[in-house]
Structure 1
Amino acid sequence: MNRVFDYIRTRLLPGRQRERRSLAALFSHFQRVLELNNRTLTTIASMHSKLGGGYIFDLQYLRSSKQYMVDTARELLDAFDAMAPGKYPELYASFRDIRSKLESELERRPILPDVMVIPFEDIGPKDMDAVGAKNTRLGIIAKTSSVTVPSGFAVTTSAYLLFMEHNGLGETIKGYEEAWRAGNLPAKDASDTIQALILAGTIPTRLRRALNRESDALRRKLDDKDVRFAVRSSAWGEDGALSFAGQYDSYLNVTSEGLLDAYKKVLASTFSPSAMEYRREYDFKPDEVYMAVSVQGMVQARTSGVMYSLSPVNPKMNCIDIAGVWGLGAPVVSGKVKVDRFAVSRDSGHAVLSESIAEKPLAQYGQPGGSVEMEPVPEDLQAVPSLSSEEIHLLAVTAMRLEQYFKKPQDIEYAFDQDGALVVLQARPLRIAVCDDAQSPELSDALKAYPVLLSGEGDVGQQGVGAGPVFVAWEGRDLETFPDGALLVAHVSSPQYASILHRASGVVTDIGSPLGHMATIAREYRVPSLLNASRATMVLQEGEMVTLDAEQKTVYQGLVKELKLHDFMCDRMEETYEYRLLRRMLKLIEPLNLFDPTAGNFTPQGCQTLHDIARFIHEKSVEILTDIPNASAAGEACPGGRLELPVPLDLVVLDIGGGLAPECAGGLHGLRTRRTIRLDQVESTTLHSFVNGMTLDGVWQSTPVPVDFSSFMSSMTRTFSTDTTGAQRIGQNLAVISNQYLHLSLKLGYHFTMIDCYESVDGVRNVVQFRFAGGVTGVTRRSRRAKFLSNVLKTYDFSVTVKEDLVVARAKGRVAQDVHWLMYILGVVVAYTRQLDVSMVNDAQVLEHCEEFERIVNQAISN
C-alpha cells in the first residue's frame, strides 16, 4: 500500500509543481524538515550507542527501532516533497530500496550483490557482507596504504549461496545442525556428514567460469604461468569483533588444477566441529553462516610470522610482539613449532627491548606438486634469527601504520618473500583486556599454604585465574568427554581445542605461543592461558584439582579460593546475535556517503542509507529556501520595505513570518515599492546582528578606489553561476526574514554575497552559511581576497571551501549567542571586503588585512 501512495504522490500528481505556495507555508515545511532531520540523527546516535556494551536489548527493540527510523524518514520525505512537489521522485525509490533491505535483515534474508568474484583492488568497506572481513581488510589495505598485500580476489558469499542452492544443500544442512543443537547428534557426526555433502557437490557453471577467469587474470598480472594460490576463508564474523582464529581451513601452494577443490574444502570447513561450537557459543544463527573465500597469489616466503601491534600479554610494556620462523608461517599460528620472539618498542625508533631466538630445525615450504611440507633447515641457520634488525624495524613501522589506520591494535600475519619484500597476508583487530587487580599482602600469605606445581615457566596467553580438575588432551582423545570447568592441559596449543575452550577454566600447554590462534580465542573467551610451559603434561596429573594464576605463571595444587577473585576480570562486550544484527542494520542507516553537494553522487540515486537521505534533503531544502527571493519576485504579496541604513546599501526586507513589527503588516508585491522600514521595526535578531557589524564605524569604505584597465575588462567579461549570483537576477539587495530565519542576497559592486542563517530554540539545528564570489579585478587579486576570507572565517570556526574566488563557509550547531556573534562578524566581513580585491596587489597583503580585521573586531569588543 505504501508503494501505491508513493507512486500516486510522485507520478500522478505533477500539477503540484505549479501550485502557488505562500512563503510562510514554505518556511513552515522547512521547519518541519529540520525537526525531522534532527530526530533522524538523534535516533541514529541512540541506536549506535547500544553497541557500546552497556545495554541489553532484544529483537523487539531492533524491530521497533527500525520501524521508528523508517517512519521518521518517510515523514521527512513527505515534508521535503511539500517544499519541492514532485521534483525528486527518485528519492522515494532510494528510500523503498533501503526499507526493503532493512526488512530483509530482520527477516534473516540479507540482500547480497549478485556477483561471484571481486578483485582485491575493487573491494571497499561497503563490500563487507559480500566478501567477509578478512577480504575487506585486504582490499582496504591494498587501496589506502603503502603496505603490500598479495594480489588476488575474493569469492563472494553470493557464490557460497549459489553453490548451496545448486547442490540442494540448504535444508539438508539445516536439518543436521538442528539435530546437533538439540543434542540428538554428536558435533563430529553432524560435521562429517555435512562436510562430505559439500565435498561431493559440483561447482555451478557460472561460478566455475568466474573462478577460471579471475585466476587467469591473476596469472597474467603476476606473469607466472605456474602461479600457486593461497586459498583462505573469509566468513561472516571472521576477523571482525570475533576472530574465528583457526576455525576454518586454509590451503597453501594450490595449483591452478587444484583451485576448485581447494575452494570446496574451505566451504566444507565452515562446518568443522570447532567452528560449529564457536558459532553456537556466540549464538550465530544459521542465517548468519556465509562463507566468502580469499584467493591470493602464493608468497613463496623466506621468513614468515605473526605480530601484535600492542602486546596482549602486557599492554603496559608499550611494545610490539613479533614472532618469526623460516619458511611459511602456518606452523607459527598453529602453535606447533618454537619461534623467534622479539619485543619492540612502539615509540619512534622502535628499539628492540628483548629477543628470544629459538632452535629451528624444521621449516615449511611449498612443494612442486602443490603441497606444503616440513623440511630440514640448514644447520648454519637453525639458531640464527629469522629476522634482521632492518626487517624488525620495518615490521614495527608497518604494525603502527596499520594500527593507526584501523584505529585499533592489530593482529597481523606477514611474510618476507625470496627477494626480501614484506607482504601483509592479513590483519584483524586484536582483543586486549587490562586488569589492574594487584595481589594484596593477605593474598601472598594465603598462597604459602598451597604447594606449587609449576612456576616461572611459559608465556602468558591470557591473564587471569582458573581452577578445576586437570584434563590432559593426549593425541586422539575424545574432546566430547571434556568436563565443564576443567583445566585443559595439552602438549601443543592447537585451535582444534576451540570447541571446548569456552567450557575450560584455564589452559596450560607444553608448546605454544601467545601469538597463535588458540591464544587469540582464549582472549576472546577470557580463559586464563599459560603456553609453552615445557613440562605441563608431565607435571599436571589427570583429574588433579589445580589453580592456575596465568599472570604469575604459576600452577598451585588444590583450589585456591583467594585467587578466584580474579574471575572478576574485565568484562567483555556482549557478542550476541542481536548485537551483530544491529551492526548490519546500521550499515543501512548510519554511514554517510554524500559529503560534497557538488559531487556527482550527490543525487537521490546516490542515497545508500537513511543518513544519506537526511543529508540530501537538508542540503536541498536550504537551497530551496535560498531561492525564496525569486519566488517573491513572482508577485506574491509579502510584508516588507526598504530598510533605513547609515551606509549606502539599498536593502529590501521581506517578512515571511514574525520578522517585522506588527505595524509593518501589509503586502508588498514583488520588489516595486518605496516603503521605508526603520531598524527598530525589525524583530529579526540575526538581521540586527548583521547590520550592527556591517555599520561598524570605519569599516564601510565610501571613497572611490582606482581600478586598472585590465582588471576592469576582466570583470566585464566574467560570467557567474546561478548559485552565486543571488540578487543579480532581480537587481536588488534583498533580506528575507522571519523570527528564526534570515536570507541575504547582496550585490555590492562586482561581487555577490549570499548568507543564510537559521536559529532555533535548540542549538543542534542552528546553521549559518556564507557564499561569496566575484570582483572587479583579475583572478589573482580575487583569489587573494578569497584567501583572506578563508583565513578570517576559519578563525571564527567556520568550515570553509575555496575554489578560485568562490568562498563557501558553514557553521552548524551553535547556540543562539554564537549565531548572533557570527552574523555580526559576517556583517563586518561584508563591509570590509567590498572593494578589497582592488588593493590586493601582492600576497603579503593577505596577512596584513587579516591582522587589520582582527584589530578592528578586537577594538569594537573593547569599546
Structure 2
Amino acid sequence: MFSKELFRRWTYQVFAPGVLLREKYNAFRELLRYDDACLELIAAIEDIHYGGAAVDWTRVVHLTRRLRASVSELVERLTRLSPSRHLDLPEYARKVDFYVQMALDLPAGDMSPPFVVPLADVAGDVDRAGGKAANLARAAAQARVATPDGFVATTGAFRYFLEACELRPAIDRLLRRVDLSRPDEVADIAAELRRRILAAPIPEEVAGPLAAAAANLGRNPDGSGCLLAVRSSAVAEDGRASFAGQYQSLLDVDPAEAVAAYRQVVASKYSAKAITYRVLTGYGDDETPMAALFLPMVPATASGVLYTRDSADPSAPMTIYAVPGLGADLVEGSASPERLVLSHDPPHFLLDRQTLDAPTLSEAAAGRLAAMGLRLERTFGAPQDVEWAVGPDDAPVILQSRPMAVEGIPTLPAAPAPRVPQGLIPLLTGGMRASGGAACGIVRFAETVFDVESIVPGTVLVTPTLPTALVRAVDRLAAVIAVSGSRAGHFASVAREFGLPVLTGVTDAFAALTENTEVTVDADATAVYPGRIAALLARPSAPRAAEGSPVAARLAQLTPLVASLTLTDPSSPDFAPDKIRSLHDVVRFAHEKAVTEMFSLVGESGRGLTSARRLRSHLPLTMYVLDLGGGVFETAATDKELRPDQIKCAPMWALWSGLAADDAPWPPGPPITDDEGLDRTSGGIFLADSKHLASYAVISDTYAHVMLRFGYHFTVVDALCGLDENQNYVNFRFKGGGAAFGPRTLRLACVRRVLAHFGFSVRVSGDLLDASLTRIPEQVAQKRLAMLGCLLAATRMLDIRLPSETEADAWVEAFLQRTDR
C-alpha cells in the first residue's frame, strides 16, 4: 500500500505535477481543518482540568475520543502531503494514543447474579451493596448495634438493568451535555434521563427475585404484613462524599409495589440535584452504580440524627437531634428539632438540652444512642453521622451510619485584632451555625416557591427552610440564611462538604435584611454585616469538594498526555517523532511539517506550473499563477493571461496590493529575473520570460504560495488568510543577494527589524531569514501581507544601495513611517 502510494506520487511528479500540487493542497487544507479541531478540543479539556469547568466525566471521554480521531486524521493528511517523510510518526502517535485510552478506561463493573442478597451478607461490601447498605450491615455485624433486617438489590442488578434495556449509550449521550453553568439544561437532561429509566421494564432476572424477597420481608413472624422502606445505596454514597439527601428514599411501600419502588430509586440517581452533586464532588456516573436497600418500616415514636463528634476537637461532645415520629422533615431541612448534647465518653452525661415543646427523646434512650454511636465511631474509625429511630419500647434502632464531615471551630488568640471595623453594627445576630465559614454576596429572598435555576453566582440566599433542592445551586451560592432547619439536615451536611456558610434558626432574617444589598455572613460568629468585610473573608476557605476525587485524579493523569507540549522549537534536532509525549505534540509536529511542505511546494525546476498563466502587470517582474481552485474570478476562467484585478485569492491580492501600490518604493533597475538560474543556462536556451526563470504563485480562495525571484535573491511567501483566525498564518523567507556578504547582512538586518516591529517571529541564519506570524484575524493577515509586498518592492537591490548602518537605520525609520498606519 505504501509502495503504491510512493509510486503514484512519483508518476504524478514526473508526468502530471499540477495534479500532485492540487492533491497536496487539498490534503493541506484538510490537515489545517483537523489541526483547528484538535486545538479546540485540547483547549476544552484543559478548561475542564485547569479552569474548573463543571461537566460530567462523560464529556471528558467524548472530547478525548473526538480528539484522538482528529489526531489520527491529521497524521493521515500529513502522510498524504509527504508520504516518504516522517515514516515513524504514526507509530509514536499510536503509542501516545494507547496511554490516553488507558487513562480514560474505567474497570467494567460486575453484573453477575445473584441480584438480590440478604443485608447480612454484604457487610463492608461497598462495590456490591453501595455505601449505605454495606455500612449498615457492618454496623450490625461489627459494632453490634440494633439494625433492621433487610435485603439489597445489588449494583449488579442496576448494571444488568441498564444493559438489558440498552440504556447506557443514551445515558452517556445525555450526560456529556451536562454543564453546571447552564442549570436549565441540566434540569432538562435530568428529566429526560428519569423519563427513560421510568419507562424501561425491569428485567425478570431482577424483578422476580426482588418481588419474592420483598414479599417475604413484608411478612411479620406472627403472619401480619408490614410496609417497607426502599432506600438508595449507591457506590460512593456515605463515603468520601455523603450524597446526603441526593437520592430518593421511599417510605411505607407495599411489598407488592417493591419493583416499581426500585425503579423510582434508580431513576433518582439522575435527578438534577444528584447529577449536580456528583459532578461537583468529582465522580463519574459509572463509578456510582445504584444499589437499593429494602428494610421493614420501624414504628417510630421519635427519630433523628446523632453526630458522634460535631467538630474536629477530639473531646467534642455528641449531639442528638430528635423529632417526633419519622425524621423525614428533619433531614429535609424543614423542621427545627430538639437538641441534646451528651459527653463523648461514657457514661455520656447529658450536658445540654434545647426543647421546643415537650421533650421528644428520653434521657435513657439518649444515653443508649450515645453508647451505640461510640461503638460505631470506633468500628468505622471516624466520627459518625447516624440516623436512628426509637420505637414504642424506647429502644433505639440504627438506620444509617456514615462518616461525619467535621469542622474545626475557629479559635481566636487571647487579644485578637478587631475582625470587623470598629463601631460597625451587624444587621442581625443569632441563630445557629449549620455550616461554618464566612462569605460575601448579594442578598436575595426565597420566601415561598423559588426557581433554583435562577440563582446567580454570589447569592446570599434567605429562605424559610433548607431544602435539599438547594444542592443544585451549591456552586453558585455564597451563603444561606434560613428561618428554620438545623445542622442535622441533609443540605447542611452538603454545605459543610463544600465549605458553604449556613445559618439556621434566624427568625428575623427577612425583616433584618434587604434584597439586592451586599452583606458579609460570618457563620462562625452567627452574624451578618453590611458590605464587604475583608478581614473576615481572609480566613482560609474549605477545600473544593472535588479535590482528591476520582475524576480529579483521572484528569491529572489524562491532561498531560493530551495537552502538554514538549515539541516547542521546530529548528531543534529534538523536534522529532521519537520525542512526542502527548497528542498536542503530535498536532504541533504535523502542523509544522505540513507548513514546511507547502513552503517548498514547487522546486526550482518549476514542475507543476505547466498549466500556470502569466500575470500581466506594469511591475518589472515576470510572474505565473497556478489556480488550485477559487483563486481567480470565474470571468477569467478561459483567459490565457491574467490581470491583477482578476485575482480573487485573499492573501495573493493583499500581497500584490503592496507590491503594486502607487507609492510602492520600487527602485530603478532592469526587469527582475532569476540571475542565478540564468547564469546556469547555456547560450540562452531559455527565453527571458521562461517559467523556469520567472516568479510564480500557487493560489486558491484563501491560500497563496508565492516565490518571487529578485535577481540574485529570492523570497517565498506562504499564507493562509480566511475567516478562522486560528488557521491563519503568514510565513516569509528571504535569502541571497548580488552584493558581498556584509551588505547582504545589512539588508537582512533591516528586513528583520521591520518584521519584528510588525509582530513576526524572526530567525536569521547566515543570509537566510525565516519569519512567521500565526493565528491572526483575517484583516490583520491582509495588512501584514500588503506590508510584505511593499517591503519586497523597497528591498530590491537594497544590499547594493546601503553604504552603512547609519543609512540602514534611516531606511528602516522611513519605511516604518510610511507603512505603519
If the length of structure 1 is used for normalisation, what is the TM-score?
0.50
Q: Is the contact between residue 465 and residue 550 of structure 1 (CA under 8 Å) also seen in structure 2?
A: yes
Measure, in 1, the Cα distance between the counterparts of 2:155 and 2:419.
57
- Deviation of residue 429 (structure 1)? 0.2
- Equivalent position to 1:476, from 425, 442, 449: 449
Q: CA RMSD in A?
A: 2.7
Distance 1:318 1:502, change over 3 A: same
Q: Is the 8 A contact 2:445 2:515 kept in 1?
A: yes
Match of 2:390 among 401, 413, 416: 416
How far residue 220 of structure 1 moved from its aligned partner, in angstroms, is 4.8
Q: Is 1:461 matched up with 2:460?
A: no
- Counterpart CA distance in 2 for 1:304 and 1:318 is 23
Query: Which residue of the partner structure matches residue 265 of structure 1?
Result: 264
Residue 544 of structure 1, CA deviation = 1.1
Going from structure 1 to structure 2, the CA distance change for 1:441 and 1:481 (only over 3 Å counts) comes to farther
Q: Match for residue 515 of structure 2?
A: 542
Cα–Cα, structure 1 residues 237 and 107, in superposed 2: closer, same or farther, change >3 Å?
Answer: closer
8 Å CA contact 2:437–2:523 kept in 1: the answer is yes
Q: Which secondary structure state, in structure 2, belongs to the residue aligned with residue 452 of structure 1?
A: coil
Q: 2:376 aligned to 402, 419, 423, which one?
A: 402
- 1:559 equivalent to 2:515? Answer no
Partner residue in 1 for 2:339: 341
Secondary structure at 2:291 match in 1: strand
In structure 2, which of residues 138, 142, 145 is the aligned counterpart of residue 144 of structure 1? 142
Aligned to 1:327: 325
Question: Which segment is superposed worse, 158-167 or 400-409?
Answer: 158-167
Q: Rg larger in 1 or in 2?
A: 2
2:188 & 2:374 partners in 1: Cα distance? 44
Aligned to 2:172: 174
Closer, same or farther: CA 278–572 of 1 in aligned 2, 3 Å: closer
Is the 8 Å Cα contact of residues 466 and 567 (structure 1) preserved in structure 2? no
Distance in 1 of aligned mates of 2:138 and 2:262: 23
Local SS of the residue matching 1:489:
strand
What does residue 23 of structure 2 align with?
none
The C-alpha deviation readout for 1:313-363, integer Å capped at 9, x for no partner, is x847621010111111111111111211001111221111111111xxxxx
- The alpha-carbon deviation at position 255 of structure 1 amounts to 0.6
Aligned length: 456
Paired residues for 1:646-795 under 5 Å: none
Show the 5 A alignment for 1:4-23.
Answer: none
1:258, distance to aligned residue in structure 2 (A): 1.9
Q: Quick one: distance in 1 between partners of 2:456 and 2:254?
A: 43
In structure 2, distance between residues paired with 1:442 and 1:401? 39
Change (3 A) 1:409 1:470: same
| Matched-pair identity in % | 31
- For residues 551 and 267 of structure 2, what CA distance do their matches in structure 1 show? 27
**1:207 aligns to 2:215 (yes or no):** no
- Residues 246, 445 of structure 1: alpha-carbon distance in 2 compared, 3 angstrom cutoff: closer
Structure 2 CA distance for aligned equivalents of residues 564 and 276 of structure 1: 30
Distance 2:545 2:331 in 1: 24
Unpaired segments ≥5 residues, structure 1: 1-57, 59-101, 359-382, 583-863
The CA distance in 2 between the partners of 1:569 and 1:577, in whole Å, is 19
CA contact (8 A) 1:547 1:559 kept: yes
Separation in structure 2 between the aligned mates of residue 232 and residue 146 of structure 1, nearest angstrom: 22
Provide the rounded CA distance (Å) in 2 between the counterparts of 1:137 and 1:105: 30
Q: Equivalents in 2 of 1:240, 1:223: separation in Å? A: 37
SS of the equivalent of 2:248 reads coil
Change (3 A) 1:194 1:146: same
Q: Which residue of 2 aligns with 1:128?
A: 126
How is 1:163-562 mapped onto 2 (pairs within 5 angstroms)? 163-181=161-179, 186-220=185-219, 222-312=221-311, 315=313, 318-358=316-356, 383-438=357-412, 443-444=417-418, 446-455=420-429, 457-562=430-535
Alignment partners' CA distance in 2, 1:399 and 1:134: 16
CA contact (8 A) 2:298 2:389 kept: yes
Distance 1:225 1:539, change over 3 A: same
- Structure 2 Cα separation of the partners of residues 581 and 214 of structure 1: 39
CA contact (8 A) 1:303 1:415 kept: yes
Distance across 2 between alignment mates of 1:131 and 1:103: 27
CA distance in 2, matches of 1:303, 1:357: 14
**Structure 2: runs of 5 or more not aligned:** 1-56, 58-100, 556-821
Q: Alpha-carbon deviations, 1:443-498, whole Å to 9, x = none?
A: 4274334331111x211112211111112234332222212122122110111101
The answer to whether the Cα contact below 8 Å between 2:304 and 2:330 also exists between their aligned partners in 1 is yes
- The 3-state SS of whatever aligns with 1:397 is helix
Amino acid of the structure 2 residue aligned with 1:265: Q
Q: Secondary structure at the match of 1:291?
A: coil
Asked if 1 retains the 8 angstrom alpha-carbon contact of 2:464 and 2:482, the reply is yes
| Length-normalised TM-score, structure 2 | 0.53
Mapping of residues 98-137 of structure 1, within 5 Å = 106-125=105-124, 127-137=125-135
The amino acid that maps onto 1:390 is: A
Q: C-alpha displacement at 1:565, in angstroms? A: 1.2
Q: Which residue of 2 aligns with 1:689?
A: none
The CA distance in 2 between the partners of 1:150 and 1:469, in whole Å, is 46
1:479-528 deviations in Å (ceiling 9; x for gaps)? 22212122122110111101111322212111010111011001100111
Question: What are the within-5 Å matches in structure 2 for residues 780-859 of structure 1?
Answer: none
Deviations 1:223-270 (A, max 9, x none): 454221000101121100000101111110111122122111111111
Structure 2 CA distance for aligned equivalents of residues 453 and 237 of structure 1: 41
- Label 1:224 to 1:484 Cα distance change in 2 as closer, same or farther (>3 A): farther
Distance 1:206 1:258 in 2: 17
- The secondary structure found in structure 2 opposite 1:447 is coil
* Shift in CA distance, 238/571, structure 1 to aligned 2, threshold 3 Å: closer
Match of residue 738 from structure 1: none
Distance 1:500 1:182 in 2: 9
